[in-house]
Amino acid sequence: MTNYNIENIYQGGYSSFKPSYGDVFTGYHVAASSLGATTNPTIANQIVELDKILRQGVVPIEVGAIDPKIFEAIPKQHFKEIKRMAKLTGAKISVHSPLVEPSGIAEGGWSESNRQAVEYQLKDVIAKAHEADSLGNIPVVVHATNIGGTEWKMTPEGKKIEKLTAINQETGQMTAIKEEIKYYPGRESMMELKPDIEKKILRGEIKEMKNEYYQEIPLEKGKIISPEKQITVQNHSEWDNSISQLLFQKERADEILRNNSPQISHFIKEMAEKKMTPEKLKEYLNEDPVQRRAYNHFMNAQTYLEDIEEHLSGLFSKSYKYGSPEQRKFLTEIRSKYQGELDKIHPGDIMAQSEAVQNLMHNLKTPVLAPKVYSRMEDFANEKSATTFGNVAFDAFKKFGEKAPVISIENLYPGFAFSTGEEMNKLILLSKEQFVKNAVKDGLSKSEAEKQADKSIGLTFDVGHLNIHRKHGFTEKDLLKEFQAMAPHIKHLHLTDNFGSYDSHLPPGMGNVPIKQYLEELEKQGFKGRTIVEAGGFIQQFGTSPYVPLLEAFGSPIYQDGVGPYWNQAIGLQQGYFSGHGNMLPGVHYEMFGAGFSNLPFELGGQRGGGGEGNRMSGRGME
């Protein structure tokens, strides 16, 4: 007996009885009315672009321009027209802000004036977004950053920094730092902690270090210096070099004092006690050229000391400014000790003054006090960007109250700062803290301020951006961990697909982004935000709308009431006994000819026409 399956007879399309069919189907069903799209972000005429999307029946639509100059070219009246169009069609509008750097870091470095200028720009974007808002609390998407940042890699030991961007907090200048391998002549420099010891330290199981915890690295292998360690070394080196230069100058000053003080000590003391007037000193020195030279050298040494003290004050200030609370406590003790020594010095006792300066330098020279002048980009930009976001959100709340636009900060991909879940979580929390600080200062209670901060500031989760961590060794499990760190803050969603190497902006279902897992997790958390699909790459490369593939990817119900087949089953609705391989070949080639010859083509003696059109029987190719 012949074995056969149903598809041997009814071949062609997907089964209309199975809702999970289709190569592009993500495995998660979403209604068409919940799937949004973006307008073309490269032109100012957003009304025309909005009309194109509305004609496709899309409900959530994101408008805006990426280039700040193009965004500025959108007339304010257009935002009001966007609001009118949204009301007429039932569309839900969100706005994508132009690309600006919230921290205030520019090509020439960082400055507070740059940050304030960006804050002004974003406040203007918020005001325009409010004009386009027909529902209240319109989401405004702002990139977390547009500057280089930390690149992470996944290793058997866990997540590690592969490359980072460091910034000099004084000058604002940036530099990229990669992992390096170095070879040292000394044995001590080639020692490292044993792997199991390092894990115990991280778990808090070891409190005191011992020699047996270390192992020597073979010279041919070299010692791996992580980017974080390089920043620490750079900070320590600059600090040590600064103090060492002053010590060298101090030795020169002390030498001059030792060589010349004995010759002029008697009238230096008289001058300090105001027993010798400047006129009398001048007369005295004119009479004795040897003592005049000694006095001039002495005064030069004093100038040296004053200059050294001035530079030491600058270093002390730098250490305090960029120091940790522990460092500041240590510096306060050093200051008290130094001041106590100065208070005991008799007027004119320059040797005692020199000794006090010497003690101050030695106390400051310890690496423990080296300020973090060079800082990891995220550590520096976090505070600056959070200030901007918090100020902008609070300004919106003050102006528009309960209907204020929502600042929705978007995560970026590797190569940019704030590309991981932990970094984004910290940025959002600091931004909310800034909002609360402003609100409490303005008269709100802390609890009310925190409630408004949670409402006014959130996160736009771009699934494609996170997926690019794959090329650095991240698995799907690792990506979900990063997502979970951001999940509590997510208010807006950007769906796109890629293969983990580039932000290619394919429609969902065409790459390897674990979209189903993300959406299932968000559903558990009760996510109510808008979902915008970014598929500009597909439009650019294939010149067609991604809307139908999008409906198939999310198995959207074909009928509005949600009953019946899904879009990923649509091809199955066209198949039949005579369908062959769907619509790809002429049906005549697969008909059952029956007992007679009448249905054969003319070329074989039958009466079936169409040979002139080209078929496999005619000897001509398909036309």
334: tokens are 């050093």
Average pLDDT over the chain reads: 85
pLDDT bucket at 193, cuts 50 / 70 / 90: confident
Residue 350 has pLDDT above 80, yes or no: no
pLDDT bucket at 416, cuts 50 / 70 / 90: very high
pLDDT bucket at 623, cuts 50 / 70 / 90: very low
65: tokens are 């321009």
Q: Top-level CATH class of 32-149+376-545?
A: alpha beta
DSSP tag of 436: H
How high is the pLDDT of residue 190?
A: 80
How high is the pLDDT of residue 572?
A: 62
Question: Tokens 């402003």 belong to which residue?
Answer: 438
End-to-end CA distance of the chain: 42
Per-residue pLDDT averaged across 428-432, rounded?
98
DSSP tag of 148: B
Per-residue pLDDT averaged across 49-66, rounded?
94
Residue 579 has pLDDT above 90, yes or no: no
A 10 A CB-CB count for 241 gives 10
Q: For the chain, give every domain's residue range.
A: 32-149+376-545, 154-229, 239-372, 587-623
How high is the pLDDT of residue 399?
A: 96
DSSP alpha helix (H) spans, 470-573 = 476-486, 515-524, 536-542, 547-553
More confident residue, 621 or 148: 148
108: tokens are 């020439």
Which range, 215-224, 366-375, 459-468, is most confident?
A: 459-468
616: tokens are 């496999």
d(CA 290, CA 205): 69
- Residue pair 532/495 in contact (Cβ under 8 Å)? The answer is yes
Helix, coil or strand: residue 164: strand
Per-residue pLDDT averaged across 241-258, rounded?
84
Longest dimension (CA), the chain: 143
Select from 553, 572, 517, 549 the least CA-distant residue to 18: 572
Long-range Cβ pairs for the range 339-347 (8 Å, 24+):
346/272, 347/272, 347/273
pLDDT bucket at 574, cuts 50 / 70 / 90: low
Residue 39 has pLDDT above 60, yes or no: yes
How high is the pLDDT of residue 326?
A: 87
306 alpha-carbon distance from chain centroid: 45
Percentages helix, strand, coil for the chain (3-state, rounded to 5) are: 50, 15, 35
Q: What is the pLDDT of residues 139-165, one digit of tens each?
A: 999 999 999 899 999 998 889 998 999
pLDDT bucket at 254, cuts 50 / 70 / 90: confident
d(CA 195, CA 224): 14
